[in-house]
Structure 1
Amino acid sequence: MILLAILAGLACLPLIVTDAVFLVEVLLGLRSSGQGGLARPSGSIALIVPAHNEEGVVRASVEKMIAEAPAGTRVIVVAHNCSDGTAEQARAGGAEVHVLDEPDRRGKGYALAGGKAALMAAPPATVIVVDADCTPAAGAIARLAATAEKSGRAVQASYLFAPRRDAGPIVQISNFAMLVKNLVRQRGGRRIGAPALMTGSGMAFPWPVYASLDLATGNIVEDLAMGVDLVRRGRAPLFEPRATIWSHPSSEQGTGTQRARWEGGFLATARIFGLPLLLRGIGRLDWQMLWMGLHLLTAPLTLLLILNAAAVALWGVLWLIGAAPLVAPIAALGLCGLVVVAVLAAWALAGRAMLSAATLARLPLYMVWKLALYARIVRGRETPDWIRTERVD
């Protein structure tokens, strides 16, 4: 019986550590950041817009980017393996267009590499990557460029889905989870000097940094891999909470595809790099590596809640059969409660626009949906391809 309790304690130790990481990031990230003064980048800027079959949204997005960017900013749409009118719509919106037809090279990373090639003849001071379905908030482009110039490092904006409280519960809860991940936790990490995770859209790079990146890969989370690579090179990215990039949320079916791609890619990256980064950070006394490793080893929000619920159930069973004292399930329940309270605080202070109270109450049903999704990921039934996701306008 004692052996069972010891084994359960060892199994739960990583969960305790990652719960602590989550709580630190969320609780420190609840306070909003000030707006700051007007950002004034001095160097030239180029926006690279990777696009795959985005004819329905790319023109409006490009027009918004041009309107919001500082004068003289180049907007280059990389129409990658498109079978529709993406290139024509991008030109109509005022963008430069770089067409790439390479059916054997599928993935956003190849599009970003094509954008880099298009800039080699006349490199800008700063490159900013914005997805074709995204629009920058007022001042976001200038602030990203100014921060990248000043720091000499890669910079990640707050990349969020526009609130849609009239959408279904899966969409609303997914959008809220993205807000926790891409704003609240990133903001908390910034306050302790932790590196930012690169999240795909709203990524700014000084040209020498962008030119040094290995982009031509089919990695389905190439943004996350970029950030890991920069941390390993001692050039950890920064988070800029005062710059926001908005995207339209997906439909419920599209949300399932997105979550499978993003979370499957995150879990695969965490499996490869999480523990090595953590151990290397400890060995080298490198805070950036250590925290990046810890962050990668921390499960996404819904999976973290599921794991905590499982830990409570495990210790409850061990107590019932006499293998653990009552304090064990009480402690597990208390830790799970802290995570839930942090999530509720994030909703109350930052997420009300994303998620109605009625939908929040349906979170347990969403967790069941996510369990089925994770089962498909484990069985390898989700496509790794870069595909266009249906969106709700």
Structure 2
Amino acid sequence: MIETIAWLIALPMSFSLAYLGVETFLGLRPLSADDNEEPVAPPRVALLVPAHNESAGIANTVHLLSAAAPEARILVVADNCTDDTAECARQAGADVAERIDPDRRGKGYALAFGREQLALAPPDAVIIVDADCQLESGSAGRLAERAIATGRPVQAANLLTSLGPASPLVAVSNFAMLVKNLVRARGLVRLGGGAMLFGTGMGFGWPLFARLPLATGDAVEDLNLGLWLARQGVRVDLEDRALVTSGAAPVESSRAQRSRWEHGFLRTAASEGVPLLLRGIATASPNLATLGAHLLVPPLALLILLSLFGLAAMAAIGVVSGHWGPLALGSAALGFAGTALLAAWWRYGRDILPFTSLLRVPLYILWKIPIYLGFFTRNQKHWNRTRREGERS
């Protein structure tokens, strides 16, 4: 009986670690070779920017988007704002749609409202950009051209940046985002599936965008929108030469945002991961199967934490029973995943996460324990805005 318990710990843990390692190794190389061609944006591209109380930074966002995509229309949806976000966006040169509906709060509702405004003169493509993000020059053209050509959604790489030297915990967070939103995203595509949607830097051709189920207050609307598309047989493409970035939030301000996303991911994974994987296998759909398997990999810090507890439990069982197979399997899986992550750090992360900060990873994991405990005690199910760097509490 005690040996069965050890295997029940080892098998799911090893699956998650092995799948993480495979995604990471497969994502170390770019998906497409860089070229010297400058993409030309189609004549009608709209950048849709949902914004809630973003008066401090929205003008800068609009200016940067205008410089990165000068031919695109920029529509800012000032959603339930109590400040002068709308006026600041107008003065910066954006079109603005103001929405007041306190009973229906959330990014999904703002996007649906913005779509209604765009429908009066539909563009060829829509690119969603969060109010604290900026697009790298040429990225809008790449996303729009590919979305129009394929009829599928296209996701840009989405990374965090820091002005000046980042604190060790912020540096670890920035690297974790790079692994999730670039390296593992490439690996997911190479395994035969589509990418996940990241909420910003998402490009859609208008015919697809017009029928998306946007009007929702879901805390992880991007995750569930991607799964909805997968069930419709629509794969999300990854354009890893396109880049959208945002400034890393201060550590003391980011816990609520982390809680929202990670709690939402865990809820979705618990209800959708296994069914999606089994459905993908039953229907021979690599997209569904790989997305289901991806959902069964917990957030990185949580996976490491659970793995360490699992190894300790399997070691204790091994001492009592003399049965060491589960511990050997779990240790091998953890070593494989750890090697893949170190390879990603060596190739992409050394500038983001210096070696001295890499040693602080255990502190980062400890910092996130309250987030995971909160999943059971104060599950974050609603949209929340993260305080931006430089803002007062």
Q: TM-score category by the smaller chain? A: over 0.9
Report sequence identity in percent.
41
Q: 1:385: which partner in 2?
A: 383
Match of 2:46 in 1: 46
Tell me the amino acid that sits aligned with residue 149 of structure 1: I
Tell me the number of residue pairs that the alignment of Structure 1 and Structure 2 aligns: 389
Q: Are 1:169 and 2:168 matched, yes or no?
A: yes
Cα contact 1:70–1:141 (8 A) shared by 2: no
Question: TM-score under structure 1 normalisation?
Answer: 0.95
1:356-371 matches, cutoff 5 A? 356-371=354-369
Following TM superposition, by how much is the alpha carbon of 1:205 offset from its aligned partner in structure 2, in angstroms? 0.6
Q: What's the RMSD between the two structures over aligned residues?
A: 1.7
Q: Which residue of 1 aligns with 2:103?
A: 104
- Report deviation, 1:315: 1.5
Q: CA deviation at 1:235?
A: 0.6
Partner of 1:313: 312
| Structure 2: distance between partners of 1:95 and 1:41 | 18
CA gap of 1:99–1:182, structure 2 versus 1, over 3 A, is same
| Counterpart secondary structure, 1:132 | coil
Name the structure 2 match of 1:210. 209
Distance 1:235 1:381 in 2: 31
Please give the per-residue CA displacement for 1:192-222, whole angstroms capped at 9, x wherever unaligned. 3321100011000111111111111110111
| 1:17 paired residue number | 15
- SS of structure 2 residue aligned to 1:8: helix
| CA–CA separation in structure 1 for the residues paired with 2:261 and 2:95 | 29
- The answer for the alignment partner of 2:200 in structure 1 is 201
TM-score where L is the length of structure 2: 0.95
> Does the Cα contact within 8 Å between 2:108 and 2:218 map onto a contact in 1?
yes
Aligned to 2:250: 251
1:265 corresponding residue in structure 2: 264
Contact kept, 8 Å, 1:202 with 1:245, in 2: the verdict is yes
1:257 deviation in Å?
A: 1.7
Partner SS for 1:273: helix
Contact 1:41/1:149 (CA < 8 Å) preserved in 2? Answer: no
Aligned position for 2:177: 178
CA–CA separation in structure 1 for the residues paired with 2:191 and 2:86: 43
**TM-superposed deviation, 1:41:** 4.0
Deviation at 1:104, TM superposition (A): 0.8
Residues 55 and 356 (structure 1), Cα distance of their counterparts in 2 relative to 1, 3 Å cut:
same
Q: In structure 1, the residue corresponding to 2:243 is in which secondary structure? A: strand
In 2, Cα distance between equivalents of 1:90 and 1:41: 23
Which shows bigger deviation, 336-345 or 104-113? Answer: 336-345
Please say if residues 317 and 323 of structure 2, whose CA atoms lie closer than 8 Å, have aligned partners that are also in contact.
yes
Determine the C-alpha separation between the residues in 1 that align with 2:79 and 2:34: 36
Matches within 5 A, 1:51-70: 51-70=51-70
- Give the letter aligned to residue 133 of structure 1: D
Q: Would the aligned equivalents of 1:196 and 1:237 in 2 still touch at CA under 8 Å?
A: yes
Question: Cα distance, 1:308 vs. partner?
Answer: 1.9
After the TM superposition, which residues 86-165 of structure 1 pair with which residues of structure 2 at under 5 Å, given as runs?
86-163=85-162
The 1-side partners of 2:182 and 2:379 are apart by 30
Matches of residues 200-239 of structure 1 in structure 2 within 5 Å?
Answer: 200-239=199-238
Superposed displacement of residue 173, structure 1:
1.2
The structural deviation recorded for 1:231 is: 0.4
- 2:298, 2:18 → 1: CA distance? 12
Partner-residue secondary structure (3-state), 2:249: coil
CA-CA distance at 1:358 after TM superposition:
1.1
In the alignment, structure 1 segments of 5+ residues that lack a partner are none
Q: For residues 332 and 276 of structure 1, what CA distance do their matches in structure 2 show?
A: 24
Q: Distance in 2 between matches of 1:333 and 1:282?
A: 28
1:85 matched to 2:84: yes
Distance 1:257 1:164 in 2: 22
2: CA distance between counterparts of 1:310 and 1:266? Answer: 21
1:44–1:125 CA contact under 8 A, matched in 2: yes
Judged with a 3 Å threshold, the aligned counterparts in structure 2 of structure 1 residues 307 and 35 are, in CA distance, closer, same or farther, namely: same
Say if 1:392 and 1:313 are closer, same or farther in 2 by CA, change over 3 A: farther
The match for 1:29 among 12, 27, 30 is 27
Q: Distance between the aligned counterparts of 1:242 and 1:178, measured in 2? A: 17
For residue 79 of structure 1, report the CA deviation from its aligned partner: 0.2
Q: Is contact 2:139-2:242 (8 Å) kept?
A: yes
Contact kept in structure 1, 2:126 and 2:205, CA below 8 Å: yes
Aligned letter for 2:277?
A: L
- Equivalent position SS for 1:321: helix
- State the match for 2:334 in structure 1: 336
**Alpha carbons 2:147, 2:154 under 8 Å: kept:** yes
Structure 1 residues 7, 388: closer, same or farther in 2, change over 3 A? closer
Amino acid in the other structure paired with 1:308: S
Closer/same/farther in 2, CA of residues 392 and 306 from structure 1, 3 Å limit? farther
